[in-house]
Chain A
């Protein structure tokens, strides 16, 4: 299979040269230097690697990079506009909802996907 040559990440076309079977998480982190999404389990369980594909939250640790080709990839690095943080980021800071912070980018991207679809979720919908 031919390598993936380009990804659309955070509004820009980024050249890559990646084996299509590699996982999106590794290409984002290792080839594009976007280390905000994290590896926690590699089995789609923890959510630390969550990014958006065409607005939908996906676990990038189990998403083959070929399936991201031609789609819009959004990562935590693209969320703030210049110095201005997104409301979700502001909210996390305001209530200090982090300890080591390692999973926070994944949590924020999951929250973003949920709130975009459903701006007023119930507790049950959140958990």
Chain B
């Protein structure tokens, strides 16, 4: 494959949710029963009005999810979402179990197989809980009503005397009593429902809202859980692909004779794509080493050293901020004049990698003119389109199956391995597996956008914020919105030329924007001599944000004095309908120039909690992941080369970096559940930065903050 050009590199980091066209196949009732077998099917129609459907005719295009109840009592949920470690196999099953009054273990989730599930744009943006969960609740509630109808007919009983419990429909005193399978046997009932069916309110939940253990726990600990990298097909071969020595380098000549001469190896070449296929990965790798390729010198490219200057110089004003949040109100000039203290500073954010522990991997197998690809991606239908385009076939010839993934973090929207495997499989006529090495994953995936953030702010001695001017170059508008009340405010985003391929990352730009905002709030608080917590409360209007801040401060014991060499810091933020506050304690060892994060307390609120234990996992995972970007993760690059594409040179948080983690969850049963996989990451970096300032008097304005430790004179 050729190295991407600069234009191709410029994936707008926050427009990815708009990439996909709608489901392009007309499913019919027969299709559903062919996939699922006889029984009862409830499909959720996303539009609010149900259009009368001709019997056996096409079902509406906008199906969000569907549930099948078979003759064997099995309840099967079909959804386009993917499992990346957020454990939605469990939380979505809980939701269905709740409405169908059935055990969680009786529910099977069929996920992300483009031949089996309705179209889904992808698993990202914390959308599964607020969007998919209500759909499944409604579909399951409607399925329960169908079962009641069937039981009333079959048992010749009054419908309102029947109850559904423990996977059965029964009358008073248990008579009559039918299992779900007895009711659905021989049936081909299909019900298409609108998105408005009534469901069980949160305060009546018995399954949702409890810490149901992960449904795949046993498979995880026995090593039997099947990830994309574990897919093995009969006669499967292994492929390796020739990579350019630098981004933008053009292949000028290639000699594959030596590789071709090796028995068992096939060399595939189309244009600039060169791949070697062999019976083992080792042989394919050795074969690839025999390929002699000449590359034209790549164009001169911006490196890490010139990065921030470059982002600033190439920045063009977004139309109100391409991630939203661009506003202008009042006058910054007046606000600054009215202030007793002002802060005018530039913050920066390095490129970082997602580092999912499972690198990109795909297995492709052709049958006639159709190809099936098993791969880990957050956009199964998107990758189906990518493979179809690359191979010159229509999308109906491509089936993408997404086994559960060894994580993604927003980093698996595109999967070049899927296209490469499909090419190599086509050329060899055998199933082919392409697995990225860690170095390939570091180099040929995409990065979290780097950023320059400029802030100009002022406050009065009494704590009133008077001016807030905030601009983000390159990373986007998530978290740009000012949660504090201020009369004069101007926020904006600028899109810059990015020297590296960049894209979505857990919580998008809000990590960087929150880091800059919460650090500047701390700077202002110190400038006017006010406690940082008090300063925030003085300017906060949002009751939900106040509540998490209060909860975190209380648990942490904010207000007490740190021991010598220690420092306390706090930060808060809101994004995607959820709210976080983090307090951190750090220890500074001046002689060793070392900063350790000792303790991190995070309070989090995302509406009604679906599964407290899993939610805690998400919060803790976010804090640990956020620590890496806060302290030491950064991509080093120059002239189109990644200079630290391995774990030896790209440090990640280890066990030894783990602080004492405390999590306070605020359960708001009165509010809709929001997603929780992203927002808890945004509090840790500023909390740690503010704690470092408290301990050392040094203000760190770049993420990562201490890639080489901290020297204080």
- Chain A positions within 8 Å of B, measured between CB atoms, are 19, 21-23, 26, 29-30, 33-43, 45-46, 48, 75-77, 79-80, 85, 89, 92-93, 96, 98-105, 108, 126-127
Contact = CB atoms under 8 A, between A and B. Distances in A.
Interface string B357-388: 11100000000000000000000000000000
A127 to B, nearest CB: 4
B223 A36 contact: yes
Contacts of B229: 35, 38-39
Nearest to A99: B85
B273 interface: no
B213 interface: yes
A34 B224 CA distance: 9
Interface stretch (B98-106, B214-222, B414-422, B514-522): B214-222
Contacts of A30: 232, 238, 280-281
Contacts of B179: none
Nearest to A36: B223
B647 A99 contact: no
Contacts of A34: 223
Nearest to A29: B230
User: Which are the 8 A-B pairs with shortest beta-carbon distances?
Assistant: A36-B223, A100-B85, A102-B406, A101-B220, A76-B223, A45-B647, A127-B655, A89-B221
A79 B226 CA distance: 18
Interface string B613-641: 11001100100000000000000000000
Nearest to A103: B357
Given A93-B218, A99-B621, A19 B646 contact: no
Contact of A126 (B213, B618, B655): B655
Contact of B217 (A40, A43, A96): A96
B295 interface: no
B84 interface: yes
Given A39-B359, A99-B86, 9 more contacts: A22-B282, A40-B359, A85-B222, A89-B221, A96-B614, A102-B85, A103-B357, A105-B223, A126-B655
Interface of B: 83-87, 211, 213-214, 216-227, 229-230, 232, 238, 280-283, 357-359, 404-407, 435, 437-438, 613-614, 617-618, 621, 646-648, 654-656, 658
A40 B647 CA distance: 10
Nearest to B230: A35
A114 B86 CA distance: 29
Contact of A99 (B221, B226, B617, B656): B617
A44 to B, nearest CB: 9
A100 B217 contact: no
A42 B441 CA distance: 12
Given A99-B621, A100-B407, A127-B656, A45 B648 contact: yes
Contact of A38 (B406, B618, B621): B406
B232 A36 contact: no
A87 to B, nearest CB: 11
A127 B357 CA distance: 19
B216 A101 contact: yes
- Of A23, A45, A80, the most chain B CB neighbours within 10 A belong to A45
A40 B147 CA distance: 47
Given A41-B647, A104-B220, A126-B655, A48 B438 contact: no
A46 B406 CA distance: 13
Contacts of A75: 223
Nearest to B224: A36
B123 to A, nearest CB: 13
B232 A100 contact: no
Nearest to B656: A127
B213 A41 contact: no
A41 B438 contact: yes
Nearest to B654: A127
A11 B165 CA distance: 46
Nearest to B227: A102
B406 A100 contact: yes
- Of B84, B218, B282, B618, the most chain A CB neighbours within 10 A belong to B282
A22 B223 contact: no
Nearest to B657: A127
A30 B238 CA distance: 10
B410 to A, nearest CB: 14
B407 A80 contact: no
B437 A42 contact: yes
A29 B647 CA distance: 22
24 contacts: A22-B280, A35-B226, A36-B223, A38-B229, A39-B229, A39-B359, A39-B435, A40-B358, A40-B406, A41-B646, A42-B437, A43-B646, A45-B647, A48-B357, A89-B222, A96-B217, A96-B617, A99-B85, A99-B618, A99-B621, A100-B407, A101-B219, A104-B223, A108-B221
